[in-house]
Amino acid sequence: MTATTDGSTGALPPRAASASEIHTTTPTATGAADTRDAAARAIQRATDFLLSTQAPQGWWKGDLETNVTMDAEDLLLRQFLGIRDEKTTHAAGLFIRGEQREDGTWATFYGGPGELSTTVEAYVALRLAGDAPDEPHMERAAAWIRDQGGIAAARVFTRIWLALFGWWKWDDLPELPPELIYFPKWAPLNIYDFGCWARQTIVPLTVVSAKRPVRPAPFPLDELHTDARDPNPVKPLAPVASWDGIFQRLDKALHAYRKVAPRRLRKAAMNTAARWIIERQENDGCWGGIQPPAVYSVIALHLLGYDLEHPVMRSGLESLDRFAVWREDGARMIEACQSPVWDTCLATIALADAGLPADHPQLVKAADWMLGEEIGRPGDWAVRRPQLPPGGWAFEFHNDNYPDIDDTAEVVLALRRVKHHDPERVEKAIGRGVRWNLGMQSKNGAWGAFDVDNTSAFPNRLPFCDFGEVIDPPSADVTAHVVEMLAVEGLSHDPRTRRGIEWLLAEQEADGSWFGRWGVNYVYGTGSVVPALTAAGLPGSHPAIRRAVAWLETVQNDDGGWGEDLRSYRDVAQWSGRGASTASQTAWALLALLAAGERESKAVERAITWLAETQRADGSWDEPYFTGTGFPWDFSINYHLYRQVFPLTALGRYVHGEPFAGRQATESR
């Protein structure tokens, strides 16, 4: 690897980006026949590998790797509740310590630069695990933190965790009043203006903000402040005429309101928030199937008097234990989320496109499991669509409140590939999914991930929201998956589908690519949109398709693969489509090229060869790079199954052709 200008280690953006850390072979030139033979052998190995990883119940799930803040906050939660034990602490410390970089920092993605808040939280967690501040690895971390501005420069969420133990002052944090729960849905900054993940986090945090708890600190953190005499320096306000200035002054007004807030109103608001939280607890005890809302919900309810033996609390804590992945070396990694529905539908598509018979028992078992995961009741999405009947799928094992549009589209595509023993059941489930997805179309013709028209400009302006995305606007990748699904269902000419296509065409970047909201980045967006447009009837000769093909060819690496570093979210000019070749990103580029009719092109041949020659003997691929996106740049994901399902899909389409060449669905729906 080479050093980058920001001091991190990572692949440089030029086409010569190396994947030598992952791969030991270099693709060689072969003829088309040899390429097809190599692809066929790779398909067989990859199929055998993927089939061997299916759970007995029918689902697939790869590890969902993020960064050590999940592990640090898990330890801090246990410290706050008084339940931290030696085994868990040791295992968490082992994992966090192993993720530290040579310069003493922690990054948020593989090969990325050190990140201040992540490093602060990791440092504190290691202090809880018994690492002394004068140990060399801790001294390096503390020195780097101070050099970056200390705790005062960390994000709000990090400073909230520190405030729980008196390491930061609550007065120096943005105010988040629980009365927010009473704002009507038409009012600015009501809770439904926030994306579902932010909404589930903010509601419990209003309780925490109102209560301002402080537990005894087990040790001081003076070494993380730039000035021990003034550990909480006051930052200057932005100009009053700017949006930042307006919202900063609003925050000061809310701090003043806190001192005069009617006690009965505040208590009622916190109790209403508690009811809102409890009503959204899933059957497995979690909230939204993701770790952060669960952590804050447990803290909020505990502050309101729910003891640890209360069924809600006990179930919530048990659910958090299920996010732990124990490794062979005794380390314990916390997943931010789990992705069984997403992984299962993608695995089903991959195996079917690779040539597995449609009635193969393992595909039927997967379909059975997916059918059982359909959500049959309204969730928060119904606030904006109260008349829309339910019928969708979520991302996780249990998340009935928040089905998502992307998963629903891909599950429908997966179910279409399986010859099920109860076709009537499948048709009814697909019909409900299609109806729900169509009903969740935003007014601009596109689709977001969870909600309709979740595009308010105000939430991102709040001083509290200094990390990640807090709204859920439509994106090209989600819209593309819906359009592809609608095309397969025979709805290419439906006016709603056409509006989605028009939106996608308008969103194409000047260079021919599309932005990737939920995957990294322009390679993912382009790999999602081109197959959707061609499935909907656009010919490979369409100007938008030709521009996309030309862009992909210009960013193909010299080794034949494709890669894109997460830095493309911040530096488009330098990093768009640039990075070390990865199996998943190479597959995304191939899916676009194959859909565009480029099966016989040199670019496709080189990429197929790269996939075949970098495959492991067991049929898998290695991929340490993070190619999934939670929040662009701020929160990155390594889906461990991406490296398996997408290459298999691409290889299958190369050998067997595009799926659904003879579609049986009609324009009747």
pLDDT, one tens digit per residue, over 48-97 is 999 999 999 999 999 999 999 999 999 999 999 999 999 999 999 999 99
Residue 18 pLDDT class (50, 70, 90 cuts): very low
What DSSP line would sit under 143-161, residue for residue? HHHHHTT-GGGS-HHHHHH
Q: Does one domain contain both 59 and 175?
A: no
For residue 421, give every residue at least 6 positions away whose Cβ sits within 8 Å of its Cβ, in sequence order, or none.
Answer: 364
The whole-number pLDDT of residue 505 equals 98
Q: Does one domain contain both 380 and 423?
A: yes
The whole-number pLDDT of residue 239 equals 77
The whole-number pLDDT of residue 249 equals 74
Q: Does one domain contain both 375 and 326?
A: no
12: in domain? no
Lowest mean pLDDT among 77-91, 412-426, 456-470: 456-470
Determine phi and psi for 333, rounding to 5 degrees: -105, 135
Q: Does one domain contain both 606 and 498?
A: yes
CA atoms within 13 A on the CB side of 511: 16
Residue 19 pLDDT class (50, 70, 90 cuts): very low
Here the tokens at position 219 are 């040790």
Q: Does one domain contain both 263 and 351?
A: no
- The stretch 142-161 carries a mean pLDDT of 96
* pLDDT beyond 50 at 666: no
For residue 383, give every residue at least 6 positions away whose Cβ sits within 8 Å of its Cβ, in sequence order, or none.
Answer: 185, 192
Please give the distance of CA 220 from its chain centroid, rounded to a whole number.
34
* pLDDT beyond 80 at 419: yes
* Mean pLDDT over each residue of the chain, to the nearest integer: 91
The whole-number pLDDT of residue 292 equals 87
The whole-number pLDDT of residue 10 equals 47
Closest CA to 588 of 617, 614, 611: 611
Residue 551 pLDDT class (50, 70, 90 cuts): very high
Q: Does one domain contain both 381 and 396?
A: yes
For residue 302, give every residue at least 6 positions away whose Cβ sits within 8 Å of its Cβ, in sequence order, or none.
Answer: 81, 308, 313
27: in domain? no
* pLDDT beyond 70 at 26: no
5: in domain? no
Domain boundary among 287, 304, 334: 334
Domain boundary among 306, 334, 362: 334
* pLDDT beyond 80 at 463: no
163: in domain? yes
Residue 8 pLDDT class (50, 70, 90 cuts): very low
406 has catalytic annotation: yes
Q: Does one domain contain both 314 and 378?
A: no
How many domains is the chain built from? 2
Report strand pairing: 9-10 vs 628-631: unpaired
DSSP 493: T
668: in domain? no
Q: Which domain holds residue 117?
A: 67-334
Could you give the CA distance from residue 580 to residue 20 in angstroms, rounded to a whole number?
Answer: 9
The whole-number pLDDT of residue 235 equals 66
Report strand pairing: 64-65 vs 635-639: antiparallel
- The stretch 600-621 carries a mean pLDDT of 97
Could you give the CA distance from residue 153 to residue 145 in angstroms, rounded to a whole number?
Answer: 9
Could you give the CA distance from residue 493 to residue 480 in angstroms, rounded to a whole number?
Answer: 15
The whole-number pLDDT of residue 233 equals 60
How much of the chain exceeds pLDDT 70, in percent?
92
For residue 74, give every residue at least 6 positions away whose Cβ sits within 8 Å of its Cβ, in sequence order, or none.
Answer: 88, 92, 291, 295, 320, 334
Q: Give the three-state DSSP class for 168.
A: coil
- The stretch 223-249 carries a mean pLDDT of 71
* pLDDT beyond 80 at 15: no
| Cβ contact 279:313 at 8 Å | no
Domain boundary among 334, 361, 383: 334
- Determine which one of 71, 74, 404, 406 is catalytic: 406
The whole-number pLDDT of residue 661 equals 44
The whole-number pLDDT of residue 14 equals 41
Domain containing residue 276: CATH number: 1.50.10.20
Could you give the CA distance from residue 356 to residue 366 in angstroms, rounded to a whole number?
Answer: 13
Q: Does one domain contain both 185 and 227?
A: yes
Q: Does one domain contain both 308 and 349?
A: no
For residue 30, give every residue at least 6 positions away whose Cβ sits within 8 Å of its Cβ, in sequence order, or none.
Answer: 38, 605, 609
The whole-number pLDDT of residue 171 equals 93
Could you give the CA distance from residue 473 to residue 518 in angstroms, rounded to a whole number?
Answer: 12
pTM: 0.92
- The stretch 175-190 carries a mean pLDDT of 94
354: in domain? yes
- The stretch 486-490 carries a mean pLDDT of 97
Residue 231 pLDDT class (50, 70, 90 cuts): low
Could you give the CA distance from residue 395 to residue 412 in angstroms, rounded to a whole number?
Answer: 14
* pLDDT beyond 60 at 24: no
Closest CA to 498 of 450, 541, 532: 532
**Residue 334: in which H helix or E strand, if any?**
strand 332-334
Q: Does one domain contain both 151 and 187?
A: yes
Radius of gyration in angstroms for the set of CA atoms belonging to the chain, rounded to a whole number:
25
Please give the distance of CA 252 from its chain centroid, rounded to a whole number.
33
More confident residue, 299 or 22: 299
**Residue 64: in which H helix or E strand, if any?**
strand 64-65
Q: Does one domain contain both 397 and 546?
A: yes
Please give the distance of CA 657 from its chain centroid, rounded to a whole number.
30
What is the four-CA torsion angle of 190, 196, 201, 205, rounded to 10 degrees? 10
The whole-number pLDDT of residue 2 equals 35
485: in domain? yes
Residue 232 pLDDT class (50, 70, 90 cuts): low
How much of the chain exceeds pLDDT 90, in percent?
85
Residue 287 has a CB neighbour count (10 Å cut-off) of 28
Q: Does one domain contain both 102 and 119?
A: yes
The whole-number pLDDT of residue 464 equals 78
**Residue 197: in which H helix or E strand, if any?**
helix 196-211
The whole-number pLDDT of residue 252 equals 81
Residue 253 pLDDT class (50, 70, 90 cuts): confident
345: in domain? yes
Determine phi and psi for 639, rounding to 5 degrees: -80, 115
